[in-house]
Structure 1
Amino acid sequence: MDKTRRNNLKQARTLQIWNVVYDVIEVVVSLIAGFTANSSALIGWGLDSTIEVVSAGTLGWRLHGEIKGIDEEKVKRRQKITLNVIAISFMLICIFISYDSITKLINKETANWSTMGLIILLVSLVVNPILIYFKRKYGKKLDSPALLADAKDTFICLYQTVVVLIGLLLVNWLGWWWADPVAALLIVPYAAKEGYEAYNKAKNINYNTAQND
């Protein structure tokens, strides 16, 4: 492995570590705010951040393996596992958001105002574009579909942030009780699309299953 690639791998791994640290904070704050305010959108957003923790952690494991010099087959294996984790994670979040949002629409449940939720959403609007930029940068440098897929996952989180923020403000300013669950449902199609793409990329990666990691 040449020195440039090794340095890029180390920087990408460091990026994933910081990603996990921030997302853990985001998960804790958003879920507390979401359950306190009875907000489907905030809860869904927090769960998506949980998925980001899982995918970022798994991807960091894959990058660490290459840094340690494991062979190409094992790198491919870790890459495939990472993409499958991302795909499954998207599927689970789509199921939960759909169920929770539709239930609240049927019952006409509304969300309460959450200052804590507003703060973490605004912070995310600043942090996530930075993460997206560097994930794409190193994804292209390393020719890593997993890292590029993870960048899309973070983009979904950014998209969610805008949608959830708008829903929160509409409920508070205009009293539109349905804005919160509808905001959550708007996340589903995009998340489903990206999950399907990650699954297809994983399916196209072949490695020798006889080798052990």
Structure 2
Amino acid sequence: MNTKLLNRAYILSLITIFYNLVEGGVATFYGAQDETLALFGFGLDSFVEVLSGIGIAHMIWRMKRFEVSKRDSFERTALKVTGSAFYLLTAGLILGATSSLYHGSKPETTMIGIVLSVLSILTMYFLYKAKLDVGHKLNSAPIISDANCTKTCFYLSFILLGSSLAYEIFSIPYIDAIGSLGIAWYAFKEGKEAFEKTKGNGLSCNDNCC
């Protein structure tokens, strides 16, 4: 494979990991401080994406060294841990949203959610296009799959933006809880897809995989 393109793919995977670490830290801190469940859940999702990103970075690192035709034990374990973390996140967000709706809890502000989601939309769009370009040039299924996972994060950012904007404008308490349920749905979807990937060692994917 083209070493220059693989190096680019590896750098993109490291940028994704670093960005999600920073985003996760900021989102969970302000989500807890402002009592914004959607923002807090978004941050936890970013941390889980780091686990997925580590598995991808490891795979690309192997691809730089020799031809890769199947997942190794590290990558399969990373997928299982990632899938389990997404399922736990789903359960936690559903419980949190239920409690928020029951008690009528509402955030102090969702302004940080607006700013962070806009930044995430711009970043994820850049990463998605860059990864997809490299993946197609290398004809690499796992890199294209990673690009589609980044696209899912791109859509997830719109959920946070929508719920944060709606609350900031209308101040309706349950909008934040609904936003967190949207994030929970995506987390469940990503968890399911992670476990589906562990069923075989192959690296094939389609345009809908994540």
Q: TM-score range by the shorter chain?
A: 0.7 to 0.9
Larger Rg: 1
Q: Superposed, which structure 2 residues align to 1:112-123 within 5 Å?
A: 112-123=108-119
Q: Percent identity?
A: 24
Q: CA deviation at 1:122?
A: 1.4
Alignment partner, residue 210 of structure 1: none
- Which residues of structure 2 form unaligned runs of 5+? 203-210
Q: Find the partner of 1:132 among 124, 128, 131.
A: 128
1:27 has 2:24 as partner:
yes
2:144 and 2:69 map into 1 onto residues whose CA distance is 20
User: 1:154, CA displacement in angstroms?
Assistant: 2.4
1:188 aligns with 2:184: yes
1:18-167 correspondence runs (5 A): 18-69=15-66, 72=68, 75-140=71-136, 141-145=138-142, 147-167=143-163
- Provide closer, same or farther for how the CA distance between residues 63 and 132 of structure 1 changes in structure 2, counting only shifts above 3 A: same
Deviates more, 1:78-87 or 1:156-165: 78-87
Which residue in the other structure is 1:209 paired with?
A: none
Contact 2:79–2:195 (CA<8 Å) still a contact in 1? Answer: yes
- Which one-letter code corresponds to 2:97 in the other structure? S
Contact 2:132 2:144 (C-alpha < 8 Å) held by counterparts: yes
Q: RMSD of the TM alignment (CA)?
A: 2.3
Q: Is 1:132–1:151's contact at 8 Å kept on the other side of the alignment?
A: yes
Contact 1:29/1:117, CA 8 A, preserved across alignment: no
CA contact (8 A) 1:112 1:172 kept: no
C-alpha contact 1:33 1:114 (8 A) present in aligned 2: no
Alpha-carbon distance, 1:196 to partner: 1.7
Q: Is the 8 A contact 2:159 2:179 kept in 1?
A: yes
TM-score by length of 2: 0.83
Deviations 1:156-190 (A, max 9, x none): 32222211122122222212100001111012233
How far has the Cα of 1:106 moved from its partner? Answer: 1.4
* One-letter amino acid of the counterpart of residue 200, structure 1: E
Q: Which moved more, 1:22-31 or 1:153-162?
A: 153-162
Q: Deviations over 1:120-143 (max 9, x none)?
A: 221112111111122333344352
Contact 2:127 2:147 in 1 (8 A): yes
Letter in 2 for 1:112: E
- Structure 2 match to 1:16: 13
Shift of 1:15: 0.4
Give, in whole Å, the separation in 1 of the partners of 2:14 and 2:86: 21
What is the TM-score of this pair, normalised by structure 1?
0.82
The match for 1:211 is: none
Q: Which moved more, 1:40-49 or 1:160-169?
A: 160-169
Q: Which of the residues 186, 199, 205 maps onto 1:203?
A: 199
Moved over 6 A (4+): none
CA distance in 2, matches of 1:16, 1:200: 22
Quick one: distance in 2 between partners of 1:125 and 1:74?
Answer: 32
